[in-house]
Amino acid sequence: MKGINANITISAKDIITIFNILRSIGLNTTHKGTKYINKAIQLLVTSNSDIIVIENIYSDIAKYYNVTPKQVKNAITYALNNRLSKKSIQYFQNIFGFEYDEYYFTNKTIIEELSRVVKYNIIAN
């Protein structure tokens, strides 16, 4: 990541909020991939950069958890592919403010969109 934004910090409450959002879109919070998505969102929310290079995120998470970037990518893909679709459709519009679209369940897009939602909520509070 480019740099840390000193004005934005992630509290324990914010981490739980991220997990609750992930759970509400049908992700199983016990999957490693869901934990990696949570960490990616934390990194992006505290980052100064608005440009997301997903490979850099994978590398940062891999270093943090002492795994390979490929393992991070695969775990996130697995978590997204094994979500509860009915639940994700039901809550998608409430979280993102627009109609459900399967397109948004790619690794990069879901991390990017959730980061925007979380960042907005943290700044607003």
Q: Is residue 4 part of a domain?
A: no
Q: Is residue 25 part of a domain?
A: yes
Q: Is residue 2 part of a domain?
A: no
Q: Is residue 7 part of a domain?
A: no
| Selection from 3-7, 76-80, 88-92, 103-107 with the highest mean pLDDT | 76-80
Range of the structural domain that residue 107 is part of = 12-124
Pick the residue with more confidence: 64 or 120? 64
Q: Is residue 6 part of a domain?
A: no
Q: Is residue 69 part of a domain?
A: yes
| Residue 113 pLDDT | 86
What is the number of domains present in the chain? 1
Per-residue pLDDT averaged across 47-70, rounded? 90
Q: Is residue 68 part of a domain?
A: yes
The per-residue pLDDT for range 17-41, each reduced to its tens digit, is 899 889 988 899 899 999 999 999 9
| Residue 121 pLDDT | 76
Per-residue pLDDT averaged across 34-61, rounded? 89
**In CATH, what number is assigned to the domain containing residue 53?**
1.10.10.10
For the cut 90, the answer to whether the pLDDT of residue 88 exceeds it is: no
For the cut 50, the answer to whether the pLDDT of residue 1 exceeds it is: no
| Residue 6 pLDDT | 45
Q: Is residue 3 part of a domain?
A: no
How would DSSP label each residue in the chain? ---B-TT----HHHHHHHHHHHHHTT--TTSHHHHHHHHHHHHHHTBS-S---HHHHHHHHHHHHTS-HHHHHHHHHHHHHTS-HHHHHHHHHHHHSS---GGG-SHHHHHHHHHHHHHHHHHH-
For the cut 60, the answer to whether the pLDDT of residue 81 exceeds it is: yes
